[in-house]
Structure formats: structure tokens, C-alpha cells
Amino acid sequence: MKRMQKIYIVIPAFNEAGAIEKVIEDLLNYGYKNIVVVDDASTDKTSENVNKFNIFLIKHPVNMGPGAAVKTGIDFAIFNGADIIVTFDADGQHLAKDITALIEPVISNKADISLGNRFLNNTSNVPIFKKIILKAGAALMFLMYGVLSTDSHNGLKALSRSAALKIDIKSNGWDYCSEIIEEIMLKKVKYVEVPVTVKYTDYSIKKGQKIYNSFYIISKMFVKWIFG
């Protein structure tokens, strides 16, 4: 008999008191019990709000960035025996209902990593400027690493346990998403892209990655590419 897969949802959170409860409620309603919130040294009531639920809360003593928070969450999930690890944003952009389709290729061994892609369907209201930046970033990733992903900076991803052990996230900032793509290429990890919806609200736009940050990520990627 096939045993049930242990699915862990990792949510990196920094000052997300305004959205985190709704995100957790949504995940619990869909039956995901193993939720790991990594509070990246928030200064608001993120931890207090998470503590209202019977889920895992990991608190970073120092703010290190989303990449470091994701890494902490993944390592914690691995320690706890997770079979599949899903990374999920804390600002309410992602929908819990998308996880079923996202993890399906990993469960059925079609891929080791499943990358959420907001451009494969027309359900995401992506602002036009953001769309251009994301597409340009994806083109750059293709030129630099040869991985064809049209939405490399989507926080919704599913990793098998073996892939999570292989992928080594060293970047602490938002560039961890590009690093995952780089690792997929370097370590020849099987991946698929799955259509997901990304909800843009005033809150998520305010909280999400800033446009100017993309220029910083690109310059960092170049420095890393050159100096290693």
C-alpha cells in the first residue's frame, strides 16, 4: 500500500500581520495541516497572529531576507520528514486551491520540482510593467542558465524531498528564486511548470517585490555569474 505523502507548506513572512491569518485559514480549509511560517524578525504582530493557529512557527532572531527564510523553512520541513515541500507567499497572492495541481507532478514522479507559473493561464491580473520586468528576467535566466521558465520569480513552488536536499539556496534576498532556477540547471533536476493564479491586491503590490529591486537582483546575478 502506498503511504500518504507528508506535505509541508513553507511560508516566509516579514511584517505580514495584515494578511497572514487569512493565508493560514485558506490553507487549513484545504486540509494542509503541516504549515511552517518562518517569521523573518518581523516588527509587527506576525508571530502573535500565527500563534493563534496550531501550526509551526519559526522565528529568525535577525532579519535576513526571504531567501534565508525559505531555506530555514525547507530545512525544518526536511528535519520533520517532509516528502513534499511547497513554498507559499505570506501576502495573500497565492491560492491554496492551486497546490493540488502544483504537487501532482511531484507526487506522480513526473518531476522533482514544480514551478508555479502565472503566465500559463489568464487568471492573474499582473500589472503591465511587472509583466515586462518578469518576462525580461525570465529571458535573462534563459540566456545565463539555459532554463526556460517564463515566471522564474513566482514564490509558489513544490519540491520533492530529494530536490529540496539537492537545491542549495545561498541567496538571502529575493534573488533566491533565480538561484533555484540556476540550481535546477546545474544539478539537472527534473522540473515542470504548472499554471497558477497570482492575485494582485493593493496590499500585495505594496508588500511584494519592488520594480527597482529587479535591477538590484539582475546586477547581483551578474556579479555572481562573473565571480562565482
Tell me if 60 contacts other proteins by CB under 8 A. Answer: yes
The whole-angstrom separation of Cα 182 and Cα 165 is: 15
Among 9, 20, 71, 147, binds other proteins (CB under 8 A): 71
Cell matching residue 177: 528564486
The whole-angstrom separation of Cα 183 and Cα 177 is: 10
Tell me if 161 contacts other proteins by CB under 8 A. Answer: no
User: Residues 30 to 49: which contact other proteins by CB under 8 A?
Assistant: 38
Length of the chain in residues, anyone? 228
Among 7, 10, 50, 64, binds other proteins (CB under 8 A): 64
How many residues bind other proteins, per CB under 8 A?
A: 19
DSSP letter string, 3-15: PPP-EEEEEEESS
Query: Of the two residues 29 and 222, which places its CB atom closer to other proteins in the complex?
Result: 222
**Sign of the torsion formed by the C-alpha atoms of 210, 186, 156 and 101:** positive
Strands of the 84-87 sheet, one edge to the other = 56-59, 35-39, 7-13, 84-87, 157-160, 113-117, 191-195
Smallest gap from Cβ 39 to other proteins, in A, equals 9
Stretch that binds other proteins, among 4-12, 57-65, 112-120, 191-199 (CB under 8 A): 57-65
Query: Of the two residues 71 and 157, which places its CB atom closer to other proteins in the complex?
Result: 71
Query: Of the two residues 37 and 181, which places its CB atom closer to other proteins in the complex?
Result: 37
Tell me if 170 contacts other proteins by CB under 8 A. Answer: yes
* Sole residue written with cell 513534499: 84
| Strand 157-160 with 113-117, pairing | antiparallel
Smallest gap from Cβ 58 to other proteins, in A, equals 4
The whole-angstrom separation of Cα 186 and Cα 125 is: 33
Stretch that binds other proteins, among 14-22, 70-78, 122-130, 211-219 (CB under 8 A): 70-78
Tell me if 72 contacts other proteins by CB under 8 A. Answer: yes
Among 76, 142, 200, 203, binds other proteins (CB under 8 A): 76
Among 16, 75, 91, 98, binds other proteins (CB under 8 A): 75
CA-to-CA dists, residue 107 to 13, 46, 210, angstroms: 27, 32, 34
Cell matching residue 166: 539537492
Q: Which residues bind other proteins (CB under 8 A)?
A: 38, 56-62, 64, 68, 71-72, 75-76, 79, 170, 172, 223, 227
